[in-house]
Structure 1
């Protein structure tokens, strides 16, 4: 009988050859286990680890997973009534299986784990159709739309995060739960000495650890930096094309957390951890288009005084027009909206500006510069990268299709009148539902599904009594 991959013709000719090469590497003894991983609705990697002999056949047959994994919130609680007759997600009733199929070109050997391979997978239903909830395939669909224009999507990542010394992992019996108790940590730096060499040198053990492991993994690392906040760091990466920037981001987050955990550290991509004098972490996404015909940056302007080509300006206008609707895909947590403070470098309104870090859309480049691009500064590092990048493409494509005008550069970003970005997760969900273009591109069933999950998180949050409430009211009243 034909394999799952063959029955539904899921691989290209190139992927088939990559799979055969992977089997040769397994048979040569390079790996003894292979992790089959797929990015879930939150951009978190889930999957199964197979011994080498089973991994060979699983490349063609896929790996079965329970569909409940696709309906969990950030506490890993299932928030849809999957055993209820009214459950509307076809093919997932009763926790039925779906199948993850490897993208063999993504295979890597994990340098920190003994003879362990890793491969990124796509999610399919039992009939071979892509899962309607698979976020990687949403981005693949967005990238495919660029073929009509003869363009490739190019993106570079700047990712801020925190790393602490791990003092207590909180593994006592009473510390379990959904979620469990967070670890106790201490600082690696006091912060507020942005980019100073002494601060970097004091963290050199961590920086060298990350550098060697991430480069061994094949990630296009460019720089390692000391950020402004206590125990805060930043990594930047060279540009990659198509879906690869998102693949890079999910692997990066997982890798950093694993490397740090194994060496006595705790890494977090949470936007604003609850520590004194904290500075919020952002994820700044640099993006441009490249012509397929000659590889030239399609955002490069031809005339003096222009900052982007007409195509680039239309794309920029699309990002601006759909900034509010796309906000929840760039900043999907309750915590992420705590970034918005006066003059905090977190953008608070839908504007663009030429080389101004206070603007949501910072435009860089000009005539004769090959790196003309748009930096979107609205994202937080917890974002599902497939949804974040897809939102940029869907918005930018709308600007290109309708030849939208972004208006003039906002040279005083915190004073320029403009549409305010959502200030809470709830407001951002409403803005997404109200954006007809993004809803149509993502699919209304997917938007409803995503909003249901995030609203379940908000409901749980609203049931908790915060320390602020206890301090404010317990004694006074």
Structure 2
């Protein structure tokens, strides 16, 4: 099988290989002792409040503040099913905050599901010493497993990797744009008039923005204080653009770290009179950087990086098969990597944002970049397609599932591209619109075998709603294009 062929049922994880997600009873039984311990120890140490965080399907941490004991209750708490169907911006600018879906809508009255705190995610915030935080999972009202829980989806796929003898490692590298806060412009929705933070668009520049170094140091310190390592923070090409790279962690922990890093960076910016956005493109098209979220990934076995090929600058056979699986499933899963209208404004290989299903060694123009330096432990694959607007639970889940599929099926990725993939090879193009990406996902046998029919249908329904919201807004507005094209000429 080659990376360019379309996925089908052959080689997809068999029923006995798929690890089931947990029921309410299983979560409570497994988590009760640790949740009760955390409640005792944190309470004795002066913690009074806890941020209870639920990752929605858009990649945000929906958060409420609770008394410590309430937030760590072993039996869990109610979870409004509308949170599974939230629209971006909670409906801005058209005023439709949720889309109608079987999980929750007017047909069933938006019932509660159950959220269960995960004790492995309990942290204490050093900058708010009386406050802790915990991330939750979800189960259905009847206690059965919830296939719409993105954390549970990723955890199940990580267990498949463990069953194959692998330890996972993922690290996200986020680009974003920071502006001087202007509450009035923000409230009016005039985001384009916000002033980018800094005096120039210089890359890797310590002096571009007053206070940049202090913000970078504080971000590193805060993340380190909650167990999240940071490899680097630097300015990126473009006014207001910065980048930070997280240290590698196992798959689920890496996704938890990614969503928390975004939340707490935004909070830090707010404290300093700034506002941050992770939308894929907010700077002018063709002149400044867009915001990516490159996913670095590798597998280990018995502590050894199995992507490393001793004495070679090439990925190992296992690493190449993993890459083959990523390529093989990339078009079907593309909507996870580019999930918004705005995602496709970033799609430009000349700005190092891939347009095709390609790979190369140390090639930033390809969708996958193989890396083997500076040491054996560094061998990894950088997936360069996702923007900063993704849900990392879903991107990591899709990538890991695709990579494991490639290893099982020994998929050959083909020869690496050494230059511009659009010139050098006849690589398959990635879908260029949200509806096209959604259609690939909805019809994918691999996606359905990986996430289940209910998840695929629900996620695709959400992407349909996003496209319809865009069309509805266009239909109700006369655009700048129309004024400039027709006002004087007709």
Structure 1 position 79, deviation (Å): 4.3
Is the 1:68–1:78 contact (alpha carbons within 8 Å) kept by the matching residues of 2? Answer: no
Q: Answer whether contact 1:110 1:217 (CA < 8 A) is retained.
A: yes
Deviation, 1:20, is 3.0
Post-superposition offset of 1:366: 7.1
Name the SS for the 1:379 alignment partner. coil
Look up the match of 2:121.
106
| 1:289 alignment counterpart | 299
How far apart are residue 300 of structure 1 and its match? 1.4
Aligned partners of 1:307 and 1:367 also within 8 Å? no
- The partner residue of 2:39 within 19, 23, 29 is 23
CA displacement, residues 51-96 of structure 1 (integer Å, 9 cap, x when unaligned): 23433xx4212111211111121132454446xxxx4779992111
Aligned residues: 457
Residue aligning to 2:376: 369
TM (norm. structure 1) is 0.89
Determine the C-alpha separation between the residues in 1 that align with 2:412 and 2:433. Answer: 28
Distance 2:407 2:245 in 1: 28
Residues 321 and 412 in structure 2, CA contact (< 8 A), matched pair in contact too:
yes
Structure 2 distance, partners of 1:447, 1:469, is 37
Question: Could you list the per-position Cα deviations for residues 361-420 of structure 1 after superposition, in whole angstroms to 9, with x for gaps in the alignment?
Answer: 000117972221100000111100111001101211221121110000111223122001
Cα gap change, 1:88/1:213 in structure 2, threshold over 3 Å: closer, same or farther?
Answer: closer
Q: Secondary structure at the match of 1:378?
A: coil
What SS does structure 2 have at the residue aligned with 1:94?
coil
State which of 74, 83, 94 in structure 2 corresponds to 1:60: 74
Higher relative contact order (CA 8 A, sep 6+): 2
CA gap 1:359/1:115 in 2 versus in 1, 3 angstroms? same
Structure 1 residue matching 2:378: 3-state secondary structure: coil
What is the TM-score of this pair, normalised by structure 2? Answer: 0.87
Structure 2 CA distance for aligned equivalents of residues 90 and 230 of structure 1: 42
Matches within 5 A, 1:223-238: 223-238=232-247
Q: Given the alignment of the two structures, is residue 73 of structure 1 paired with residue 82 of structure 2, yes or no?
A: no
**Structure 2 residue 297 is the aligned partner of structure 1 residue 301:** no
> Per-residue deviation at 1:350?
0.6
Do the aligned partners of 2:115 and 2:136 also contact (CA within 8 Å) in 1? Answer: yes
In the TM superposition, residue 47 of structure 1 has moved relative to its aligned partner by: 3.6
CA distance in 1, matches of 2:236, 2:267: 21
- Partner of 1:161, secondary structure, is strand
State whether structure 2 residue 163 is matched by structure 1 residue 156.
no
Q: How does 1:436-447 map to 2 (within 5 A)?
A: 436-447=445-456
Residues 158 and 235 in structure 1, CA contact (< 8 A), matched pair in contact too = yes
Distance change (3 Å), C-alpha of 1:218 and 1:340 = same
Whether the 8 Å contact between 1:196 and 1:226 is mirrored in structure 2 is yes
Partner of 2:50: 34
1:280 to 286, 290, 296: 290
- Residue of structure 2 equivalent to 1:411: 418
- In structure 2, relative to structure 1, the CA distance for the partners of 1:459 and 1:429 (3 Å cut) is same
- Does the CA-based 8 Å contact 2:24-2:139 persist in structure 1? no
Structure 2 CA distance for aligned equivalents of residues 202 and 47 of structure 1: 29
